[in-house]
Each structure stands twice: as C-alpha cells, then as structure tokens.
Amino acid sequence: MVVVQAVLNRRKIRRLNLCVIFSAVIIGCGDRIFIFGGVFIMTDEQENVMAEQVDEAVEESPQEIEDRLRLKKLRKKALRRYLREEELKPYQAELIKMQQYLEESQTRMIILFEGRDASGKGGTIRRVTRYMNEKHNRVVALGKPTESEKTQWFFQRYVQQFPRGGEVVLFDRSWYNRAMVEPVFGFCTDKEHKDFMRGVAGFEKDQVRNGTVLIKLYFSVDKEEQNRRFERRKNDPLRQWKLSEVDVQAQERWDDFTNVKYEMLKKTHTTHAPWTMIRSNDKHLARLNVMKVILNSVPYGRLNSELDFVPDPGIVVSGSRELEMMEAERLRTGKLEG
C-alpha cells in the first residue's frame, strides 16, 4: 500500500484575508486507488503560526528537544506541588479555627516534633504554622546548651519556652534529644540518660494534669529514603545548610538510633502522653495526616464538617502498635527494625 499526501492547490482570498488550502491524500492498494480530499480555511495569522510550528519541529536541535522536555517535566512537577498545597488549605483553615478555640478557652498546647534526620519535621512545621496567627504560636528549635544551662535542671531551658494560655508552641526537637541523639553520639553520660528516662514520664504527666495539651509526634522514614534526601542536600546549594555533622553519620548509626527509639517508646509511651508515629516517606501525606492528628486533639467547632478528619492508618500509627511491630520483627529476624 502506498500513501501519498499532497497539497494540490493553495489560493489566497485577498478580500477576506483568508488562506484556502486544497489538499488530498492518495492511497494506492493493489490495483485500486483511493483519493480523499479536503478543504481547510484559516486566517493568515493561523497559517503563519502553523508554519512556525512546523519549522520549529523540523529545525529543533537535540539540545532544544532536551530543554523542552525538561521544561515540560518542571511544569508537571510545579502543578503537582500546587495541587498538594491546595489539598492542605482546608485543614490549614481548620487549624486557624482550632487556634481561636485555644485563645478563647486559654488552653495551652505543646507539640513535639521528633524523629530521624531528614524525616520531614521542618517542612511539616512550616505547613502547620503557615496561616496561623503568629501572635499565638511559636516554633522553638534550641541549639546546644550553654555552659550555664548545663549546670541547670535539664528541663529548665525547655520550660522557659512553654506556652501561656491560648498559645501553641511547636518544638522542632525537644527534651527527647536526651533519649535519642545524645546517647548515640555520647553527648551525655549514662547516668544523665538513665535519670532522664526515669523522670520524663512524671514531668509530662504534671504538664497534662495542669491542662496542657501535649502532642508527641515521631517521624519515621526508611533508610533508603533518608539516604536519598541526604544526597539531595549534598547536591542542592539551597539545601546544603540542612546537612549537619550529625546527619552525615546518621546512616552509619542507623541501628543505634533504632535501638534507642525502641527503649524510648517502651519507657515514655504513656496513657497521659502517648507517642504518635508518622510514616513520612511521602512528605505530603505525612503533613496532611499530622494536621488531622493535631485537629483531633481538642474539641473545637469544625469549620467544615464534611472534611475527612480520620488519619490514614498507613501513615499514622500509635506508639504501642509501633512497639508491637518492632518486637515482632525482632522475634522474626533477631534484629530490631523501624
């Protein structure tokens, strides 16, 4: 079968400023010939645009093709990011409504963001607080204790940051440094670590008994995803500041962190101050579900009752369930995972 497409005639209708193209497709099959014709009418401007597109397609260099495909990928990524941010907005509006309830009732709220390095804590905090009233919320990320602070009661510098009535304080890492990072890297003595583990449950119980809403979130990311995020930080000049000396060793000390996480959950997951585990390999789903967890912690009047406030059980796991899974894995493999 032979197919031939030809432009048989092309005439200008000057008075109407139109271009008329007579075209035909001739198909030969065996001893038969089929002719399909058509008439296409377009303005001069449309004709020029079509001609330019044809010329560009013909003349596009390999580099231009690569640039065009890269731009298409970037546009797709930007659209996906936009849609994800839009999905968060109804819940961010609910957080504002919740904040109004806290102000009216003079309720104090503390939210702890703990977890492995590069697990998405900072990005989640930014989404949670993005539209909240800055006068009534604070993000606290304390650095190394000073020499003077080292001589104080361990909890003292954290207590100084506690909320007043109607305020929300979000700790980007908290007193649980002493349960996780410090013992792994030798930043505290064994005695200091044991004293903390014995005293923290009572300390938290006192806060809750006095009316503070305490939410403890632990962000859990797998080893491969953590490594991928570290590599991105190394190669992205806009993210390199996030890469600390501790981060560099996080992969090597993965099992050490798993062990101290297990001990921490065993001794500090309590009925009055339970842990909520957040599976954060997917950052967007982690952020969305953290907002649901926070919103479900107080009985404020919903702004939109039709929203889905039920956390995804594949993302949000209770501390007790996490302990069960870690113990089951140890029985199966002889090694803690998580």
Mind listing the pLDDT tens digit for each residue in 185-201?
Answer: 999 999 999 999 999 99
pLDDT at 127 over 60: yes
The predicted pLDDT at position 161 comes to: 98
Q: How far apart are CA 251 and CA 52, in angstroms?
A: 53
Same domain, yes or no: 51 and 166: no
Residue 78 domain-assigned (yes or no): no
pLDDT at 136 over 80: yes
Q: How far apart are CA 202 and CA 199, in angstroms?
A: 6
Q: What dihedral do alpha carbons 244, 245, 249, 253 form, nearest 10°?
A: -90
Same domain, yes or no: 98 and 55: no
Q: How far apart are CA 22 and CA 6, in angstroms?
A: 9
Read off the pLDDT band of 3 (50, 70, 90).
very low
Q: Which residue has the tokens 């044809």?
A: 54
| CB 227, CB 251: distance < 8 Å | yes
Q: Which of 45-59, 80-94, 127-141 has the lowest mean pLDDT?
A: 45-59
Q: How far apart are CA 268 and CA 262, in angstroms?
A: 10
**Beta-sheet strands, E only, within 232-334:** 275-279, 316-318
Label the pairing between strands 168-172 and 32-43.
unpaired
Read off the pLDDT band of 76 (50, 70, 90).
confident
Residue 338 domain-assigned (yes or no): no
pLDDT at 20 over 70: no
Same domain, yes or no: 55 and 129: no
**pTM value surpassing 0.75:** yes
Same domain, yes or no: 274 and 205: yes
Residue 42 domain-assigned (yes or no): yes
pLDDT at 12 over 50: no
pLDDT at 266 over 50: yes
What is the tally of structural domains in the chain? 2
The predicted pLDDT at position 38 comes to: 52
The predicted pLDDT at position 47 comes to: 63
The predicted pLDDT at position 241 comes to: 83
Q: Which of 4-18, 74-88, 264-278 has the highest mean pLDDT?
A: 264-278
pLDDT at 86 over 60: yes
In whole angstroms, how far apart are CA 214 and each of 12, 272, 316?
78, 9, 17
CATH number of the domain to which 181 belongs: 3.40.50.300
Query: In angstroms, how far is the first alpha carbon of the chain from the final one?
Result: 64
- Tokens matching residue 134: 């800055």
The predicted pLDDT at position 113 comes to: 98
Specify the 3-state DSSP secondary structure of 304. coil
pLDDT at 22 over 50: no
Tell me the pLDDT of the chain averaged across its residues: 87
Same domain, yes or no: 225 and 267: yes
The predicted pLDDT at position 15 comes to: 37
The predicted pLDDT at position 60 comes to: 72
Q: What percent of the chain has pLDDT over 90?
A: 69
Residue 271 domain-assigned (yes or no): yes
Residue 66 domain-assigned (yes or no): no
Residue 74 domain-assigned (yes or no): no
Q: Which among 128, 285, 310 is positioned nearest to 221, based on CA atoms?
A: 285
pLDDT at 337 over 50: yes
Residue 243 domain-assigned (yes or no): yes
pLDDT at 7 over 50: no
The predicted pLDDT at position 247 comes to: 78
Q: What average pLDDT does range 131-156 have in this prediction?
A: 96
Q: How far apart are CA 133 and CA 130, in angstroms?
A: 9
Residue-wise pLDDT tens digits, 317-332:
999 999 999 999 999 9
Task: Tell me which residue range forms the domain holding 44.
Answer: 2-59
